[in-house]
Structure 1
Amino acid sequence: MVGLSELPLELKGMIVHWATQIDCSYYSRVSGDGIIRFDIFSNGVAPRDSCIRTISQLDRVFFALCRPVLWKVFDLRKIPTTALGGFHGSETLTKKYLRTFTRDIKTEVVVFQQPFRELIVMDDCKQPPEFDRFFHIERILKEIDPAAMIDTFDLELVLNGRLLDGFLPTCSHPLTARLLTSFAHLKNVKHFRIVSPISFSLPENLLVQTIINMKILTSFSAENIGYEEATSHPENLGIKTGNSQERVTDDQTKQPTTTKLVEFLSNLKCLKSLRMYDSICVDHLWSEMTWQSSLREIVLRRCPNLSSLSLQRLSKKFHLSLRTVDVSTIGISEVEQIQTNYAPGYLWEILQRENTISFKKLRALKLVGINMGEHLLRSFQDSPKLRRVEIDSPNIRAQTLFNSIQQWPLLRELNCRIRGGSGSLDLIMYCLTQKVLLDESFY
């Protein structure tokens, strides 16, 4: 009988692939914690009872085949501070694995207090341990080759109560800004995501400095992004960490020509997915820019400066490519939008908003918002491939929704919390006869 170690290399590779799929299927049912989820395989480690871990211990060939799976994700959040020193500095086997196999990086960025001077520590013995972790992470990320094939880069801004000490946290703090702008040397990132506590926002100009060289982004996700703010650039900043003196280089202090996030994103030619959450920088300008890419997915949730009228204008720009639209408005009404926006064509847009454009590829639609008008729903009437719809707005009447769903022959799921009255019974009967799953809350 042939043992596993004697199998051909191709068959061993298939076994590793199957084991990976089994583990991913099993652990995907286990709820995780953290805003950016933790992968089951990262930093060369797999769960103790996983198939991959068992197979990797069979022989050297299986171990070599499992390494790309185990090292694909490098998650700095899971590494203890005492172990971070082994990931930078002199060449090690661990660094070789990172350079060869890592494609996804997930890291934390500590947000400090203001004023800055109260955090300058000249005596190493008094330096808080949080600083050790911060500088270790900074060195590790700076040593990543700009040409490295890093596909995914996830950032999680975190607060540390000991370092805040009653002061307001700010992403514009020189140390936080220094680390964020150091990521600009990564050029091959395709998927970027940044999350932050809801208690503060990241200035859009600082975010642009972070991603300024990521020209081939295909998906972008961010939350709590604010308008432009003045940031400190500590050219002469020096903080002792061990026996070394860290200083900001000239490249880190250069200001990009673009400071608005929408200007940077609209010039990307490969962008397919755009997700923005709780960001005040998303306003009517996003619907007026000329976009170079054809977005397939738009997710804009709880952006208070974006009205339903602006959402309608923005979605029309991508009517030939959109597959998913998920938007919610909590901000200004159309009247307030018009009064505060002097861009030509807004009044004409209102007069012509009954004219629909065909969304040939749209498959999922979600519209939520207390100020959302019926015109936004009507603009998606000509969507022949629409299959899932969720509507939540007191301004949308049942009759209007009933008129719309008759134009969606492939609709299979409808979840709605709208104004009842005329058309409610017609809507229910239509869903029953056309085998459309209607959410129970509507009955």
Structure 2
Amino acid sequence: MPAVRTENRWLLPSALVAELEPSRPARRSTRDWIIDTLCFLIGFGFTVLVTADLLSDNVSIAPEWANTPPWLAWLDFVVATIASVGLWWRRRWPVQLFLAMLVLGLFTVAGGITGAIMLFTVAVHRKFSTTALLATGFMLVTLVFVKLRPEAGRPYWETVAWSAVFTLIIVLWGAVVRSRRQLLISLRDRAERAESEQQLRVAQARALERTRIAREMHDVLAHRISLVSLHAGALEIRGDASPDEVATAAGVIRASAHQALQDLREVIGVLRADGDVSSPPEPPQPTIAELTALADESRAAGARVRLELDVAAEAVPEGAGRTAYRIVQEGLTNARKHAPGATVTVAIAGGPGNGLTVTVRNPWPAGHSPTVIPGAGTGLVGLAERATLAGGRLTHGREPGGDFVLTAWLPWPRPATEVAA
């Protein structure tokens, strides 16, 4: 059947307009070839059997049409053969082929199975409204066909009723197959979507985990490298240093560099691993209990640090203690960068229900440091993000008295027993 012209589409029912476009041609699979071959053999085989039966002296397959003239039987054979050949394109042009079959169905008997296969194809590949409209057209054609070629020995309305029953069975069968296919496609799409969403969640979790690890790497390595840079700069400036001073500075440089390499190796190992992203990070996670060691390490490097720890380290929550440690570590690093030689005061205070307050104070530098330690300028931004993620807040800036103050408040909830009481 020729393609319908756009300007003539208003002549057709609206339910058919959207269905007249050919389905996108796809390469047939082995299963498609087998099914198409069977459909053609069934349709053409029925045509051959009915035609041979009509031309024989003893009509047994279609006794209702035993009086069919030979010329009409041969014409029926030619028309039904052409229709059966069209079964090879039934997936691409289901509506067009069935409309052509409706015209041929006004007189053909041998093409009955071919017409049923085409109606079933329409029911499978097109929506139900289109199928119902075409099935109604088929029944109208049946009314005319039974008048033109009545069945011998059977009333008119009985023939029409049986045709309606068979048509309804074909339409419902095709609708069931179509619904099953749509269900399978929906389940497959849903499974693929769920898999894609799961992969996206894993990728996001991995990205968040690696961002956290990168933050840990910055906090750890910035502290170590600043010690190395500070002592190396001192050795460069003080050319008259005694051998003992040189040896001490070199020892601090060696120890800091070794520890920095160890921390870097652990962090890189985590970044290369593709393990469970929900597990805690592998780099060291110091808490507030290690602040004394951090202060001693800074003092050994020549910095002047005064630590005022007014809380019991074991009572501080682990998350708040870890965040407080990183804030103090970054504060000491910034003090070495921008105010070398100044006294840094670190004060930790607070309690359950009141929160944990961390204060790092150092005098504003009076001049430029002879040893310039490079930095990305994002340390304080990272600390503010840490404090926010922990449920707290962080402020920093120069006070009217001339000191630079870094202050953080972190939540410290009351124990569950006290809240219940």
Which interval holds the TM-score relative to the shorter structure?
Answer: under 0.3
Q: Under a length normalisation based on structure 2, what TM-score does the superposition of the two structures give?
A: 0.21
- Which structure carries more strand by proportion? 1
- Structure scoring higher RCO (CA < 8 A, sep ≥ 6) equals 2
- Which structure carries more helix by proportion? 2
In our comparison, the structure showing a higher alpha carbon Rg is: 2
Q: Under a length normalisation based on structure 1, what TM-score does the superposition of the two structures give?
A: 0.21
